[in-house]
Amino acid sequence: MHRYRFVLFRPLQFLPVLFGISIITFILVRLIPGDPARVLLGARSTPTAIARIRAQYGLDEPLWLQYFYFLENLGKGEMGKSILYKIDVLKLIATRIEPTLTLVLTSVLLSILIAVPMSALAARNNGRLADHAVRIVSTLGIGFPPFWLALMLIILFSVRLGVFPVSGYGETIGDKLAHLVLPSLTIALSLSAVLTRSLRAAMIVVLKSDLATAARARGMPESLVFWRHVLPNSLVPTVNLLAVNIGWLIGGTVVVETVFAIPGMGQLLVRAIFSRDYMVVQGVAMVFACATVLVNFLADIVTVSLDPRVRL
Amino acid sequence: MSSPVLSIRDLTVKVPIDGETRTLIDAVSFDLAKGEILGLVGESGSGKSMICRALVKLLPSPAIAITGGSVLLEGKDLATLGEDAMREVRGAKIGMIFQNPTSHLDPVMRIGDQIAEGIRYHQGFGHEQARAAAVEILGQVGFPDPERQYDNYPHEFSGGMRQRAMIAVALSCNPKILIADEPTTALDVTIQAQILRLLMDLRDRRGLSIILITHDLGIVAQTCDSIVVLRNGQLLEHGPKRRVLAEPRHAYTVSLLKSHPSMPDEGGAVEVEQIAQQTRLQPLLEIDDLVVRFPTPRLGLFSGRKKQIAAVNGVSLRVMPGETIGIVGESGSGKSTLARAILGLTPLSSGHITFGGSDLAQQPRQTLAKLRTEAAMVFQDPYNALNPRLTIGDMLAEVLKVQGNTPPDGIPERIGELLDLVELDRAFMTRRPRSMSGGQCQRAGIARALAVNPKLIIADECVAALDVTIQAQIIDLFRDLKTRMNLTLLFIAHDLAIVRNLCDRVVVMYRGEIVEEGRCDAVFANPRHAYTAALISAIPDIDPDKPLPKGDLPPRNEPKGAPVLRGQPLISMQ
């Protein structure tokens, strides 16, 4: 299947991309005003103590040498020590990545489960009541800020109905998923709105297209025409839109993680920025960047599998 | 003939627009016998497609409705049948094939699955059974390796093979009636001949009745048993083919027959003497060993470096001022690439183009400036080539302003002159393309080309999208303009009959090369290259006694003297 040949070769292109990302995050992090040693030692620290801490973390070295150490550590599978948590950044991230990853995954699944039927309903009833209803709902979904949605969901489902936990993250799988329902729903409500708008528009075009007419002309019932011909031909633009949004989501779970007190990457990043924990900010930014690259790669694979005409 | 398979009585289709009701089909009646091929002839807007859409009740908009009459099929009146019952008719009783197979086939579904889909639904076959049946049908419509080609996607086939696939889809459920809506309009002449032959063959083998919608009377003359002539939704004439062609009863049928380009034309005689005198002049355009290559997408896993495909491969041509040259060839022969190269719209790989004494490769800036002021192009699709937001006046004014040769206060008068030249009323100045017909748009496109006061006009398939009567008008306009303005015209077309009527010289291209070149009458009377001969014989003649070539058409892949291009991405038939 030479259509999928790029799956073998595309990863080679990741190396220069990731190298570039590492340089940019390295420099950007150091442009943050403030001194991590001073933050660590508090307001009444002595200059000598600060100098000692700076030397300990290599912060007194020239910038290019710091970057060299960073790369050297990366080669050993380390990302330097967190100033705040005193452990290696990679290990730190490993403890925090699971909640975020699960949250992103459940949110995306939920969005698709909402967006596809909503778009189908709207497109097949184009111009009628159901279509207008879907359009209003999706406009609201885009319009409402997530933190407000989150609070409303907590008030309704946790406080009033007591169905789902208010905040935090569980220990067992079932417990974790229960904790993730409301956060995922918060994200999915706005993400599915974006997807629905794109998918609905594509479906309306394909429903009127020649290929749908041809399928009807060979006697296919409308439901088969829709699910077998219209849907597959409408998906590609939305898949790419979803990929862009997942990239944004991975770095954008901060608000939701904060509202629901989920110990994930977003929370870690915010705390690290406030305490000038360079190594952590750098590490988290690198992970986000890698994830974005990976998501786009996956989207390319999905696109190729959906449309045999696409060659990458 | 025996009792009709399909009997249409007083079929009327109406649509309400802005409070009033417009009649699209006006009480049309005709019968279709078993094994009959019936030609529905008429110009765009005559309602020929609408009738066929009405037969299977797939009208383009829910507002359009059958308001009267009956369509009797096996004792049932389709006009009153419900949607569920209609599904049993579509595909299983009446199959449809369409003009554009590329847009009517699902691009993301395997060809075979699209055929098997109907079989499974209508005949309740299992997966394996349906696949076997689909493979069988693929073989019948001329796929050389149906077992393997079942799994190919539509884009992996050439246009002709896609149309065969479309026919296979339509035949999948053994319909009794096949409706073919302009099935060959998008295809080259030799492929057209193959598809028409296939349709006739299927009629003979399966006893199909076929309704063939076409604007080409040549096709009707060659394939149909009877003819229905339509205009403005009304049936003007219905009768056996020979009677209608020989003694048309309606004035409109007469004018349709007159417009057909294969009819001998007295007006367009070539002034051979005049051309002979001009050979002493400097050529206006000189093309010397021109090569234009494009990179092709990499295919196999190990095919390594990108291959190049030569769209134009070593073409040399001299064009004298005032000459009209027809460039003919099938799609993919490099005609359009040659035109684009001449205008500097695509980079040359090697060779020279000299326009009015300056070389495009050596003095690109100077030559391009010259080309932009002295050469112009008329495009195939008049709607897409005009900016829909601009009125015709604005569009022409834009060209005149950029040109800078007309003083600003003289522009309105010049626009009026240009519209007079192309025989458009001056009132069109304030109209926009969407409120104009195809022929009017093409006239506006020609006016835009004339606005630069060009020496050379390149017309790329500029009448291919128009109805025959409009085609004839545009050709007359070109003939008139070239004598009045001493224009040099490069006329690119796949329709040989039009070239024969208009041009002095003809150049036949095949796979990027010129295979034959010469005076029009000489080439058409006595083609020297096998490919030219094949092209000429594939034109459906309006005389039913001059049938399409019976035997196999010359192989597409290896004509004498033309090298086979490597890396051809399409699966072609032979």
Chain A residue with minimum CA distance to B155: A309
Tell me which of B491 and B18 has the higher pLDDT: B491
Distance to chain A for B129, nearest Cα, Å: 19
Q: What is the mean pLDDT of residues A45-56?
A: 81
Please give the pLDDT value at position B270: 42
Please give the pLDDT value at position A6: 85
Tell me which of A78 and B302 has the higher pLDDT: A78
What is the amino acid identity at position B143? F
CB B480, CB B450: distance < 8 Å: no
pLDDT in tens, A232-254: 999 999 999 999 898 888 777 88
The whole-angstrom separation of Cα B474 and Cα B447 is 12
Chain B residue with minimum CA distance to A5: B301
Question: Would an 8 Å CB–CB cutoff place A132 in contact with chain B?
Answer: no
Tell me which of A76 and A117 has the higher pLDDT: A117
Distance to chain A for B207, nearest Cα, Å: 19
Confidence class for position B275, pLDDT limits 50, 70, 90: very low
Question: SS3 of A124, please?
Answer: helix
Q: Using the predicted structure, report yes or no on whether residue B274 has a pLDDT greater than 60.
A: no
pLDDT in tens, B354-397: 888 888 888 888 888 888 888 888 888 888 888 888 999 999 99
Question: Would an 8 Å CB–CB cutoff place B243 in contact with chain A?
Answer: no
Please name the residue ranges forming H helices in B141-208.
146-149, 159-171, 189-206
**Contacts of A123 by beta carbon, 8 Å cutoff, 6+ apart:** A131, A199, A200, A203, A204, A207, A230
Cβ neighbours around B276 below 10 Å, total: 9
pLDDT in tens, B99-112: 888 889 999 999 99
pLDDT in tens, B123-167: 888 999 999 999 999 998 889 899 999 999 998 888 888 999 999
Distance to chain A for B105, nearest Cα, Å: 5
Residue B87 is nearest to which of A221, A229, A311, comparing CB atoms?
A221
Inter-chain residue contact A214 with B87, CB threshold 8 Å: no
**Contacts of B161 by beta carbon, 8 Å cutoff, 6+ apart:** B143, B571, B572, B573
Give B334-351 as a DSSP string. SHHHHHHHHTTSS--SEE
The whole-angstrom separation of Cα B417 and Cα B540 is 40
Please give the pLDDT value at position A54: 80
Q: Which residues of B touch A311 (CB under 8 A)?
A: 297
Residue A210 is nearest to which of B89, B98, B300, comparing CB atoms?
B98
Q: Using the predicted structure, report yes or no on whether residue B280 has a pLDDT greater than 60.
A: no
Distance to chain B for A209, nearest Cα, Å: 8
Size of interface A-B (CB pairs under 8 A): 86
Q: Using the predicted structure, report yes or no on whether residue B1 has a pLDDT greater than 60.
A: no
Please give the pLDDT value at position B296: 65
Question: Would an 8 Å CB–CB cutoff place B95 in contact with chain A?
Answer: yes
Q: Which residues of B touch A5 (CB under 8 A)?
A: 301
Inter-chain residue contact A2 with B90, CB threshold 8 Å: no
Tell me which of B567 and B458 has the higher pLDDT: B458
Inter-chain residue contact B118 with A219, CB threshold 8 Å: yes
Inter-chain residue contact A2 with B155, CB threshold 8 Å: no
Confidence class for position B549, pLDDT limits 50, 70, 90: low
The whole-angstrom separation of Cα B419 and Cα B414 is 9
Chain B residue with minimum CA distance to A9: B301
pLDDT in tens, B240-259: 998 998 888 998 888 888 87
Please give the pLDDT value at position B37: 94
Q: Using the predicted structure, report yes or no on whether residue A140 has a pLDDT greater than 50.
A: yes
Q: Mean pLDDT across chain B, nearest whole number?
A: 83
CATH number of the A89-306 domain: 1.10.3720.10
Q: Using the predicted structure, report yes or no on whether residue B217 has a pLDDT greater than 90.
A: no
Residue B155 is nearest to which of A232, A233, A309, comparing CB atoms?
A309
Q: Using the predicted structure, report yes or no on whether residue B461 has a pLDDT greater than 70.
A: yes
Tell me which of B265 and B118 has the higher pLDDT: B118
Distance to chain A for B355, nearest Cα, Å: 39
Question: Would an 8 Å CB–CB cutoff place A52 in contact with chain B?
Answer: no
Residue B90 is nearest to which of A216, A229, A309, comparing CB atoms?
A216
Confidence class for position B307, pLDDT limits 50, 70, 90: low
Question: Would an 8 Å CB–CB cutoff place A77 in contact with chain B?
Answer: no
Question: Would an 8 Å CB–CB cutoff place B56 in contact with chain A?
Answer: yes
The whole-angstrom separation of Cα B396 and Cα B412 is 9
Q: Using the predicted structure, report yes or no on whether residue B278 has a pLDDT greater than 70.
A: no
β-bridge partners, B516:
B508
**Percentage of chain B lying above the pLDDT 90 cut:** 23
Q: Using the predicted structure, report yes or no on whether residue B272 has a pLDDT greater than 50.
A: no
Q: Using the predicted structure, report yes or no on whether residue B180 has a pLDDT greater than 90.
A: yes
Strands B375-378 and B358-359: unpaired
| B-interface mutation test, from A5, A218, A226, A312, most B Cβ less than 10 A away | A218
pLDDT in tens, A100-125: 889 999 999 999 999 999 999 999 99
pLDDT in tens, A10-22: 888 888 888 888 8
Question: What phi and psi, each to the nearest 5 degrees, are found at residue B338?
Answer: -60, -45
Q: Where are the domains of chain A?
A: 89-306
Q: Which residues of B touch A230 (CB under 8 A)?
A: none
Please give the pLDDT value at position B42: 85
When mean pLDDT is compared over A120-124, B302-306, B541-545, the highest value belongs to: A120-124
| A-interface mutation test, from B108, B163, B570, most A Cβ less than 10 A away | B108
Please give the pLDDT value at position B305: 54
Chain B residues 111-150 with a CB less than 8 Å from chain A: 117-118, 121-122
Hey, what domains does chain B have and what are their CATH numbers?
6-259 (3.40.50.300), 272-296+307-537 (3.40.50.300)
When mean pLDDT is compared over A39-48, A141-150, B305-314, the highest value belongs to: A141-150
pLDDT in tens, A196-228: 999 999 999 999 999 999 999 988 999 999 999
Inter-chain residue contact B155 with A308, CB threshold 8 Å: yes
Q: Mean pLDDT across chain A, nearest whole number?
A: 87
Stated pTM of the model: 0.76
The whole-angstrom separation of Cα B472 and Cα B479 is 11
Q: Which residues of B touch A228 (CB under 8 A)?
A: 109, 117
The whole-angstrom separation of Cα A193 and Cα B164 is 42
The whole-angstrom separation of Cα A48 and Cα B258 is 104
Distance to chain A for B10, nearest Cα, Å: 23
Tell me which of A230 and A288 has the higher pLDDT: A230
Please give the pLDDT value at position B564: 36
Rg (chain A; Cα; Å): 24
Distance to chain A for B471, nearest Cα, Å: 27
Question: Would an 8 Å CB–CB cutoff place B294 in contact with chain A?
Answer: no
pLDDT in tens, B10-43: 999 998 887 888 888 999 999 999 999 999 998 8
Q: Which residues of B touch A233 (CB under 8 A)?
A: 106-108
Angle subtended by helix axes B438-451 and B411-421, to nearest 10:
130
Q: Which residues of B touch A306 (CB under 8 A)?
A: 108
Q: Which residues of B touch A219 (CB under 8 A)?
A: 87-92, 118, 121-122, 173
Distance to chain A for B56, nearest Cα, Å: 7
Chain A residues 208-227 with a CB less than 8 Å from chain B: 209-211, 213-221, 224
Please give the pLDDT value at position B128: 92
Residue B108 is nearest to which of A218, A219, A308, comparing CB atoms?
A308
- Which of B308, B258, B289 has the alpha carbon at shortest distance from B475? B258
Please give the pLDDT value at position B332: 78
Question: Would an 8 Å CB–CB cutoff place A127 in contact with chain B?
Answer: no
β-bridge partners, B457:
B376, B489
pLDDT in tens, A19-41: 888 888 888 877 877 777 777 77
The whole-angstrom separation of Cα B48 and Cα B40 is 6
Tell me which of B188 and B163 has the higher pLDDT: B163
Handedness of CA B276, B278, B283, B286 (dihedral sign): negative
The whole-angstrom separation of Cα B491 and Cα B290 is 19
Structure tokens given for B305 = 């470096």
Distance to chain B for A109, nearest Cα, Å: 24
Q: Using the predicted structure, report yes or no on whether residue B74 has a pLDDT greater than 80.
A: yes
Chain B residue with minimum CA distance to A235: B108
Please give the pLDDT value at position B269: 41
Q: Which residues of B touch A2 (CB under 8 A)?
A: 299-301
Structure tokens given for B331 = 């799609």
Confidence class for position B571, pLDDT limits 50, 70, 90: very low
Q: Using the predicted structure, report yes or no on whether residue B559 has a pLDDT greater than 70.
A: no
Residue B90 is nearest to which of A2, A210, A217, comparing CB atoms?
A217
Question: Would an 8 Å CB–CB cutoff place A309 in contact with chain B?
Answer: yes
Inter-chain residue contact B105 with A228, CB threshold 8 Å: no
